[in-house]
Structure 1
Amino acid sequence: MKKHVLTALAIAAASLVSTQAFAQAKEGPWMVRARAVSLSSANTDSTGLGLSVNDIVLPEVDFSYFFTPNIAAELILTVPQQHDVRLNGNKIGTLSQLPPTLLVQYHFNLNGYKPYVGAGINYTKFTANDILGGAVTTDGSSWGGALQVGVDIPLSGNMYFNFDVKKVLIGTNINAGGNSLGSLRVDPLLVGVGLGWRF
């Protein structure tokens, strides 16, 4: 349902773009975007316990620097995310994570529309977890790859409408009594819509 709402917002915002919007003011090398993001977890559990975390909607901010008109680096930041941890659908605790991501992007220019692709790396810090009263724990952090595709659509001046999709590899070991029970791969698909400002 959340994906359908985000897609509808993207179509509605894109329909507002007129030919006059393509006349952009002089743009600098920086771009800032703010998005609302729907996070859908892959929930691949190798413990055999039927573990999963819930899907959420979260705010996201990114900062991009354009080295050339086509090549940019993007740092993606968000607030700490708290998930319910479930065992066969029943909540058994919570898991909090903070997942900054750094990507290198290639931007195209198609008559004012600016689609892009990106690839990079994610570092996730698991800041706190409370699973079965602390009897079950996770690793403190994880590293993984990230892939991205999106588009910036000019609105007016240096403002853009942004639609963005990312796949980020995030996982952690599940431990109990000092022993690893296996891993839980969150590996979220992130679908976001928002606004960007180039300066």
Structure 2
Amino acid sequence: MKLIAAAATLLLSAPVFAYESGSVLLRAGAATVSPDVSSSALALSGTALEGTAAGVKDGSALGITATYMWRDHWGIELVAASPFSHDLKVTGLGESFDLGETRHLPPTVLLQYYPLAPSSKVQPYVGAGLNYTVFFEEAISSQADSVFATLGATDGADLSLKNSTGVALEAGVDFTFGADQRWLFNVAVFWMDIDTKATVEVPGVGKITADVELDPLVTMAGLGYRF
């Protein structure tokens, strides 16, 4: 009995290796994409319209990440989300006006490094990898159609955004809790290199294009669980 009691005490006092090789970490939370926009001047049928630019507003959605710890201290993370929605604007054609909106999905793969011991209850980490941003459901606003009508548009305009591939970086921290330290409170920030080309086809006017660097910071906070 004494031997069994000693063994039980040893097991209960042993550290919980939450971040060891083979662990799977799932996280979900509120994510906000805040673009740091740099835009070329809009070009109409190849001719630059000096003083003009495109803008992109912030968007929020449900962020989801999954990490597989392929070694102690090292993980491979897949980042996904429900679709983000962004309002678009144009400046320089008279007053600023709403151009329309777009939605996007940001599938991203990162290699992560966790510097502390696998048993630590606080786990900071950094990561680097690749992002592929898919734009879809682009739509022109009624305000933009009205502006284009004053320029001689003969029908509604059509908007498209080119998909993007670029570098992604991240930094985050997990705070583990619960009897077996399986639950996580997570905060993270990502930087993504996202460049796109916006094209607006305006019947009767021509093609309006702009090269836009989004390069957003993405902040996320939520809960997770270790399997």
Are 1:33 and 2:27 matched, yes or no?
yes
Shift of 1:155: 1.3
TM-score by length of 1: 0.80
Shift of 1:129: 1.0
Residue 174 of structure 2: aligned partner? 152
Shift of 1:176: 4.0
Residue 121 of structure 1: aligned partner? 130
Question: How far apart are the structure 2 equivalents of 1:26 and 1:135?
Answer: 50
Which structure would you say has the larger Rg? 2
Residue 161 of structure 2: aligned partner? 138
Q: CA RMSD in A?
A: 2.2
Are 1:192 and 2:220 matched, yes or no?
yes
Partner-residue secondary structure (3-state), 1:126? strand
Shift of 1:25: 7.0
Amino acid at match of 2:225: W
Partner-residue secondary structure (3-state), 1:67? strand
Shift of 1:34: 0.6
Question: How far apart are the structure 2 equivalents of 1:26 and 1:82?
Answer: 35
Unaligned runs of 5+ in 2: 1-13, 43-51, 145-155
TM-score by length of 2: 0.71
Residue 81 of structure 1: aligned partner? 84
The answer on whether the counterparts of 2:54 and 2:210 sit within 8 Å (CA) in structure 1 is: no
Are 1:169 and 2:193 matched, yes or no?
yes
* Identity across the alignment (%): 31
Unaligned runs of 5+ in 1: 1-21
Amino acid at match of 2:31: V
The answer on whether the counterparts of 1:103 and 1:121 sit within 8 Å (CA) in structure 2 is: yes
Residue 100 of structure 1: aligned partner? 107
